[in-house]
Structure formats: C-alpha cells, structure tokens
Amino acid sequence: MTPTIGVSDVLARSRRAIHPAITAAIGRLAPEIRQVATYHMGWTDEAGNAVEAPGGKGIRPTLAILGAEAAWAEPELGVPGGVGIELVHNFSLIHDDIIDTDTERHHRPTVWSVFGVGRAIVAGDALQILAHQVLLESPSPHAAAASAALADATAAMIAGQADDIAFERRRDVSVEQCMAMCAAKTGALLGCAASIGAILAGAPDATVGALRDYGRHLGLAFQAIDDLLGIWGDPATTGKPAGSDLRQRKKSMPVVSALAAGGPEADELRALVLGPEDAALPLPPLETDDVERATFLVEACGGREWTAVRAKANLDAALGALERVRLSAIPHRDLADLAVYVVEREF
C-alpha cells in the first residue's frame, strides 16, 4: 500500500531532516567499516561506488522526530535520537542476517555474504556504539537519559533475539512466550523510537511513558502484520519467497496461536512443523507441499484470525496511549496516521 499523502509527506520530511546527520555519523567510521556500512544502507555497491538508493521509509527516525514535536519541542531536537535508533536498527539487521544465515535483504546480497562474517560482525558492533557516540555528543542536557533509554531498548532487543534463537530448539513455545519475545525484539526499539525525541526535549515522565507505550504497541502490531505477511504475503511486495516463514518452521504468532488451539488440525500442524516428538530441532526446511498444507492448517486453527485481532488490538492500544497525555495536535495526528499506515500495509 502506498502511504496516504499525509503520511508520505511526514516520512519525506523526516528523511530530509535525518539524512545529513546519519550521513555525517556513518562518515565518522574508519574506511574499512564505512565501506560495509554504506553498502548495507544501500548508498554504495559492493565495490564502494555510489548508487541511486531507493532507501527505506524511515519509520523509526520519523517516530523520533514526531515524538519531539508531540512533546511540544522543535523537530530538530529529535534528530540525534532518530539517528541513534536508525544505527541500532541497522546494527541488528546486519547481525541478524549472519545469525539467520540470510543471503538476501531488500533484493540485495546481505553484508556477511558480500564481505564475510568477520567484517559483518565488526560493522554491526561499530554501528551499535556509534549510536551512543552520536547521542552523548548531542547538545541536549538530556542526552545521557536518551542514551540510557536507547541502551535499555537495545538490551531488550538483544534478549528478544536470544529468545528467538532459543525458540528454534524448543517444541513448547507458549503464546505468552511468543508475545514476550516480540515485545522485546520489536516493541522495545519502537517504544524507544517514539519516546526518545520527548526524552531529548526534557518532557515529563507521563509524556515519555505514553509515547513509549504507543511505540511498544505499534511494534507488536507491526510484528503481527509481519508474521501474517511471512505466511500470506505477496513475494513481489515482501521481497521474501512465498510462505518463507513456514518453510523455515518459524514459531511466529500465527503458528504458535494455531498450535495452542488444540484438536486434530493443531496436532497435524504440530507434526508438520515440529516433526516427531523425538526429532532433534532445528529441522531442515519444509517441502513446498507441506508448506501449503501447513498454511491451510494455521488458518483452520484460527492462527490467521488470532494474529489479525492482535494487530488490531495493539493498534488500538497504541492510539489509546496517545490519548493519555496532552500532545501537540499535528504531530499527534501524524503519529496516529503513521500507526494506521504501518498496520494497513498490504491489507
């Protein structure tokens, strides 16, 4: 789905505000690391030549800027926060691609598959710490609080990633554990993105808390939609092969909730996705016929419906969080529009 005019404009404006700062930050990296980072960002090809970058939508830095404005501050105050969030997000993508041995992201070879595992680890490490250099050097008197909030969100995200890895070796992931993993892996950083601008602006705790809750719920809604797209999404728009999550036997929200439904179809799904009770996990990828059958079973067990309801409930909770405090009207509306846009993509 193409963003509505309003959301399009808001995202484009944020990208313009963030671009010079993130370019300057990446420019500080040592040449060996910078080459890897600019490739990952889509700014250069494998040889280091500049390329026309389509670029991401920039939802995370936009949240940082809107968060500052919603807390009655100038948008510029949110910029170091947006840069920090974007650097941490990209650190996590580079490391996650190594961990998942993914060879493609946004239709391009992943960093580790181009530059090797060693340079990919180092580039991710460099982006993680660069985020804090940028924040701690920002002139805001609240820079240390923003850096601490980003550190806490990063630690939660890393813990979520560790759980995600552990889930591959487990047969017994509950719906609660799945939701807690998503809250950590996706929700924490979006919660920080939405509140870090307000932190840098020195906003009251209630405002910071409301924006953080908005971002956390938005993250859970986002993940629910991502999990639906991972099974039913159109490969042309998701950039992933059809049914890729089921092929990889991923314990995503639709699968875990379907398994929890009980009954003969859930038993059949469990046997397909987890293999026999005594099978050592992780198993090899599912065959195409089995992916099709598993897709049918997840829906038959209510996993698709359950996940769609979670997406909608978290969108409502995100919008509700914005009503808890008095926010500046226009950024308040933009935050609400952005949440609806994120959840309605592809639907």
* Binding of its own copies by 143 (CB under 8 A): yes
Residue 104 belongs to what H/E stretch? strand 104-105
* Binding of its own copies by 223 (CB under 8 A): no
For the window 99-138, what string marks contact with its own copies as x by the rule CB under 8 A? xx----------------xxx-xxxxxx-xxx-xx--xx-
The DSSP call for residue 141 is T
Among 24, 51, 53, 165, binds its own copies (CB under 8 A): 165
For the bound state, the minimum distance from the C-beta of residue 87 to its own copies, rounded and expressed in Å, comes to: 12
CA angle, 320 then 258 then 224, to 5°: 35
* Binding of its own copies by 206 (CB under 8 A): no
* Binding of its own copies by 29 (CB under 8 A): yes
Instruction: State the alpha helices, DSSP H only, in the chain.
Output: 5-27, 31-41, 59-70, 79-99, 111-115, 117-136, 143-167, 175-182, 188-200, 205-232, 235-238, 244-247, 253-260, 264-274, 288-300, 303-322, 329-344
Among 8, 20, 32, 271, binds its own copies (CB under 8 A): 32
For the bound state, the minimum distance from the C-beta of residue 41 to its own copies, rounded and expressed in Å, comes to: 17
Distances (CA, A) of 19 to 2, 43, 307, 341, 344: 22, 12, 35, 22, 26
Give CA–CA dist 238/223, Å, rounded: 14
Nearest C-alpha neighbor of 318 from the set 248, 240, 219: 219
Residue 105 belongs to what H/E stretch? strand 104-105
* Binding of its own copies by 147 (CB under 8 A): yes
Among 166, 279, 281, 309, binds its own copies (CB under 8 A): 166
Q: Which stretch binds its own copies (CB under 8 A): 17-25, 73-81, 163-171, 330-338?
A: 163-171
Among 12, 93, 98, 340, binds its own copies (CB under 8 A): 98
Binding residues (CB under 8 A) for its own copies: these are 29-30, 32-33, 91, 95, 98-100, 117-119, 121-126, 128-130, 132-133, 136-137, 143-144, 147-148, 151-152, 154-155, 158-159, 161-163, 165-166
